[in-house]
Amino acid sequence: MALLSRKTFKIHLVFGTAALLLFLFIVRETRYRPPLRFEDVIEEARKKCSEPYAAATVPAFLSALSFDQYRQIRWRDEDLLWRDAALPFQVGFFHPGYLFNQPIRCFEVDRKGVQPIPYLPRFFDFGGGVPLQKLPANLGYAGFRIYYPLEKRDRLAEVASFLGASYFRMVGKNMAFGLSARGLAVDTVAKHREEFPAFTRFWLCEPSSSAHSLLFYALLDGPSVTGAYRFELEPGAETLLHVRAVLFLRRDREEIGLAPLTSMFWYGENTNIPVGNRHPEVHDSDGLLFRQGEDRWYWCPLESGKERRVSDFPAEDLRGFGLLQRDRELAHYDDPDMLYERRPSCWVEPGGSWPSGKVRLVELSTVDANLDNIVAYFVPEERPKPRVPFALEYTLHWFLDSPQLPPMGRCLSTRVERVVGDSLPRFVLDFGGNRLRALAEDAPLRAVVESEPSAEIGEIHVLKNPVDQSWRVIFTAGRASSSSSPVRLRCRLELEQETLTETWIYPFFP
């Protein structure tokens, strides 16, 4: 009897194991279809492209709110999305009003399906500045904030916000919000008015209790374009945003700018300090960095002149571009309230195969720090065609500093001594990096200074700074012809014909 029981047990064990293996195989081979896929958002954008564009608006009394009235409206923390479940990512929403008068619709995606996130006035503290009885039902939101325990495990911190048109901002550890990114730029420097397509719908996917990334989708809509976006956010010491987009043009446009970045530069070490300002520098970013191929790096310091300046840089093998804040010295800003030294840099890393094109830098004049007057984006050589899907993939890196951007020597500062009379302007550049730091002061380091079109370049001096071990390049430059176009200066450091630094580029108006 005992022997029979043992055999019976073995038979059950064998058949039970086989059944379990078969079940696991079926589970593995059966594809789970989530309630919402990126393909569904793409199809939504495709349908929208064939429909007439119609922008939603908010009641006039909300658009008429002043900045001070609008900033009093606050989302109540106890009503954050996923607060009750104590998930690592939680979301709060912006109320429509002031400049943000195009409402959006938001949805929550979990295993149960897709549910709209309702608009309810009780979610907000209005501060007494809004007549609640006038608020319509189902008003919608203007945007949202994403929270995550960035600095401490038990404390949520704002890591990202989406607000206004297709604008969004992000930070990593020990950063203060600064420059913005956009979903798309349309006709930024065209002869007619710039178009600002907007994210009109968002689908927020519920994260797990141990998630370190957040997945969400967005629908872009504008008079000339629709688009589907897939975002995956990874906050950290360096915050990453992985982006996939599929665009559909309703009609042809003069200029389509991909992965646009928007920042502020009022004045810096390469410009004069405006009269009446005590701060040495005021800017969210101080230069454009871009990479072509494996080892060609270029740095273009920013400047806010009296007129709009557009600079195009050919990019047949673009490996990345970004607006960077390299100056991290508090004393260079002398403004502990604004925290300019902690504003993030943002680097666009292309994914897949990007077409040939150019990196375009637009610098607008400004009289204060309240205007984002710097724009950088990629312009494809062949514009997307109407009704034909245009796919794009890239990752945005938000960081304070990165030794690999570039992995060689870099320009630390640019100063321009604008003299009067017949003397030529003098340029003083400081370059730093590990390789440069290790060189003796009598090393045969050579500065290669070039110009396009040809300009008058004076004597070039290269000397080592014994205090911080950086290297200084000093030269004068002026126009050699009567042309009114700017001179594009270039400078790099070489040691026995080996390039040790990025190439400094400076559009110069003698």
Cα(10)–Cα(5) distance, integer angstroms: 9
60 and 170 together in one domain:
yes
Query: pLDDT at residue 12 above 80?
Result: no
Tell me, yes or no, whether 71 lies in a domain: yes
> What pLDDT score does 353 carry?
86
Tell me, yes or no, whether 12 lies in a domain: no
Q: Which of 380, 399, 418 finishes a domain?
A: 399
> What pLDDT score does 460 carry?
97
Q: Considering the entire predicted model, what is its pTM? A: 0.92
Cα(279)–Cα(223) distance, integer angstroms: 42
299 and 373 together in one domain:
yes
Give the end-to-end CA distance of the chain in Å, rounded to a whole number.
Answer: 106
Mean pLDDT for 310-319 is 93
170 and 291 together in one domain:
yes
273 and 416 together in one domain:
no
128 and 219 together in one domain:
yes
> What pLDDT score does 27 carry?
43
139 and 84 together in one domain:
yes
Mean pLDDT for 61-70 is 93
CA distances from 201 to 41, 219, 476 (A): 10, 5, 54
Q: Is 169 helix (H, G, I), strand (E, B) or coil?
A: strand
- Domain of 484, CATH number, reads 2.60.40.10
CB 227 within 8 A of CB 219: yes
> What pLDDT score does 423 carry?
73
Q: How confident is the model at residue 192 (pLDDT cuts 50, 70, 90)?
A: confident
Query: pLDDT at residue 225 above 80?
Result: yes
**Beta-sheet strands, E only, within 342-444:** 345-350, 357-363, 374-380, 390-399, 410-417, 426-432
391 and 418 together in one domain:
no
Q: What is the pLDDT of residues 464-478, one digit of tens each?
A: 999 999 999 999 998
**Beta-sheet strands, E only, within 86-236:** 90-94, 105-110, 113-116, 124-125, 143-152, 155-163, 167-170, 180-182, 185-186, 198-205, 214-221, 225-234
> What pLDDT score does 4 carry?
44
- DSSP lists the bridge partners of residue 180 as 262
Q: How many domains would you assign to the chain? A: 2
> What pLDDT score does 205 carry?
98
Mean pLDDT for the chain overall = 92
From 312, 315, 311, select the one nearest 293 (Cα to Cα).
315
Tell me, yes or no, whether 1 lies in a domain: no
Q: What is the pLDDT of residues 401-441, one digit of tens each?
A: 999 999 999 999 999 987 766 678 899 999 999 999 999 99
Structural domain boundaries, residue 490: 410-508
Q: Which of 348, 364, 399 finishes a domain?
A: 399
Query: pLDDT at residue 499 above 60?
Result: yes
497 and 385 together in one domain:
no
Cα(284)–Cα(324) distance, integer angstroms: 8
- Domain of 221, CATH number, reads 2.70.98.10
415 and 288 together in one domain:
no
Q: What is the pLDDT of residues 274-313, one digit of tens each?
A: 999 999 999 999 999 999 999 999 999 999 988 899 999 9
> What pLDDT score does 19 carry?
55
Mean pLDDT for 84-109 is 97
Tell me, yes or no, whether 25 lies in a domain: no
Q: Which of 399, 432, 453 finishes a domain?
A: 399
195 and 113 together in one domain:
yes
> What pLDDT score does 2 carry?
44
From 421, 448, 459, select the one nearest 502 (Cα to Cα).
448
Query: pLDDT at residue 1 above 50?
Result: no
Tell me, yes or no, whether 7 lies in a domain: no
383 and 460 together in one domain:
no
CA distances from 317 to 292, 323, 380, 403 (A): 5, 19, 12, 22
> What pLDDT score does 354 carry?
93
Which of 75-84, 258-267, 484-493 has the least mean pLDDT?
484-493
Other Cβ atoms closer than 10 A to 485: 11
Tell me, yes or no, whether 39 lies in a domain: no
| Burial readout 362-382 (b: 16 or more C-beta within 10 A, e: otherwise) | bbbebeebeebbbbbbbbbee
Tell me, yes or no, whether 252 lies in a domain: yes
Cα(70)–Cα(246) distance, integer angstroms: 34
Query: pLDDT at residue 20 above 80?
Result: no
Q: What is the pLDDT of residues 440-467, one digit of tens each?
A: 999 999 999 999 888 889 999 999 999 9
Mean pLDDT for 486-510 is 92
Q: What is the pLDDT of residues 331-380, one digit of tens each?
A: 999 999 999 999 999 999 999 889 999 999 999 999 999 999 999 999 99
Place of tokens 């954008």: 45
389 and 420 together in one domain:
no
For residue 314, the surrounding DSSP H or E stretch is strand 309-315
Cα(35)–Cα(41) distance, integer angstroms: 12
Query: pLDDT at residue 38 above 90?
Result: yes
Tell me, yes or no, whether 338 lies in a domain: yes
Query: pLDDT at residue 480 above 60?
Result: yes
> What pLDDT score does 422 carry?
63
> What pLDDT score does 133 carry?
82
